[in-house]
Amino acid sequence: MTAVEEPAELQARNRKTVQEHLEQAYAAVDGLIRKSYSRHDMETTSLLRDLRSNINNLLPEIRSSGLDTFHSRKGNLDDFYASEKRFIESSERFYQTVTSSSEDIDVFKLQQLLTAIQRNFREIIPVSDDVVKDFKIRAGISVVSEPVKETSATVKAFGICREVPTNAEISSGPSTMEIFGIHRETPIDTRTSPTGQSMGIPMASSSYNVTIEPDGRELPPHLLASLYSYFNLLEQKYSTNHPEISANDVYIGDKRWEFEKGERYIRGYIYDSLFSKTITFYTVFKPFESLKQITEFMQKEADRVPSGQYLSLCVVGVEWPEDIIKWAASFFHLRMSLFIYDLATGVFCFNKELKQSERFAFWHNMDKETSKLYDQLLEILEQYGAISIVEASKELGMEQKSTAEYFKKLLKAGALVDVGFGEHKYALSISASKKD
């Protein structure tokens, strides 16, 4: 490098660029899969699907793992710049190769280039105090009189806040956290990746935001480990799945889906338009000591949810009292589902008589897999052979209009065919049957 650059800002900018490269590469690989499939090149199609899966597995690390994968690496300022250069250059090579691939697809080469990104990402040098000090010396910045900040520049660069209250004052200029669009109370409007994940572009607030703050109390090591494992599992599920049916039975599998994870919470949104959120999924460590406390708190929060929006909320605690468990099992509100999870006992409780709660339980529980809407439809078609919109809407739990729109997408994609001969009935296409 010809000139020194501020380490935290450089690292933040590079990480964002690589994230965008991978998200755009995912879309490009999707296109390559369709081309190879149309040519009946099943071997290349299979290899490309593996590549797409590997991109999807790496993306959550790039988005939100912070320094977990490379915090043990050490080096001086020159080492830092060298590692950042390798990281960004490997990403650019992969991106250029993927997007320029057309007829002759060298999937093996693409896999090698993706592996290089992963390796270079894990060899990144963190922005340590020594790196910052070396930078300031070279840049001619005083290193004597500057006060020590509570949160390191490296932590800010990746938007990781550990036990920092959300009402803490923020400086007037854009922080490196804002570069990644991590805001406690400001939703993030994003361009959508092919998996529906957030690309982290800050936008204006919408009409409703969850106000429940995570509890920062100390936990015994075994409970802290359980807490981290739980939220890591949720992050994996949010990264690889997309909500498909709303609280009012509308198909939302094509709506924008984004999420953010903190140390003791995870929050996901379904957007109906650029700014309008329709569903908020929020899981947070928030123990309550008494039934009176939790009932009053939850009623106020549920009443804040505007008409046309829905909140799926799970509060995590330790050894919930019996009266709270019984109350949660009967909780009802038109615009909110409530779940409680107990770290100590593994109890997961909600009102199982509510269709919405049954539908959204996966986004808060410990299940690793959920049945996709298309897979449910395949099972139904195996039973019926052919099915009408009315029958499908009942079986899938969607309103008829939304089911009809969903079927139109499948017809256009060649997954279904109309076999009704005057009475519209739909069956799985021959090509889709062979594919499955």
Local confidence pLDDT in tens for the 436 residues of the chain: 446 789 888 988 998 899 899 988 888 888 888 888 788 888 888 888 888 888 987 887 787 544 444 444 678 888 899 999 999 999 999 999 988 866 677 888 898 999 899 888 888 888 888 888 888 888 887 655 444 444 333 333 333 333 333 333 333 344 333 333 333 333 333 334 433 444 333 333 345 688 799 999 999 999 999 999 999 999 999 999 999 999 999 999 999 999 999 989 999 999 987 667 899 999 999 999 999 999 999 999 999 998 889 999 999 999 999 999 999 999 999 999 999 999 999 999 999 999 999 999 999 999 999 999 999 999 999 888 899 999 999 999 999 999 999 999 999 888 899 887 666 889 988 655 545 5
What is d(CA 65, CA 424) in angstroms, rounded to the nearest whole number?
49
Q: Is 358 left (phi over 0), alpha (psi -120 to 50) or beta?
A: alpha
Tell me the domain boundaries of the chain: 7-129, 212-363, 373-435
pTM score: 0.54
Q: Give me Rg for the CA atoms of the chain.
A: 24
pLDDT for res 142: 61
Q: 55: which 2 tokens?
A: 């991109």
pLDDT for res 64: 59
pLDDT for res 56: 83
What is d(CA 171, CA 367) in angstroms, rounded to the nearest whole number?
41
DSSP string, 324-381: HHHHHTT---TTEEEEEEETTT--EEE-TT-HHHHHHGGGTSS-S----HHHHHHHHH
pLDDT for res 430: 66
State the DSSP H helix or E strand holding residue 369, giving kind and residue range, or none if neither: none
CB environment 290-312: b (16+ within 10 A), e (fewer): ebeebbeebeebbebbeeebbbb
pLDDT for res 183: 38
Give me the helices (H) in 195-346, please: 221-240, 291-304, 322-328
Check: CB of residue 59 under 8 Å from CB of residue 22: yes
What is d(CA 206, CA 166) in angstroms, rounded to the nearest whole number?
18
DSSP 362: G
| Strand locations in 96-219 (E) | 188-189, 201-202
Name the fold adopted by 373-435.
Answer: Arc Repressor Mutant, subunit A (1.10.10)
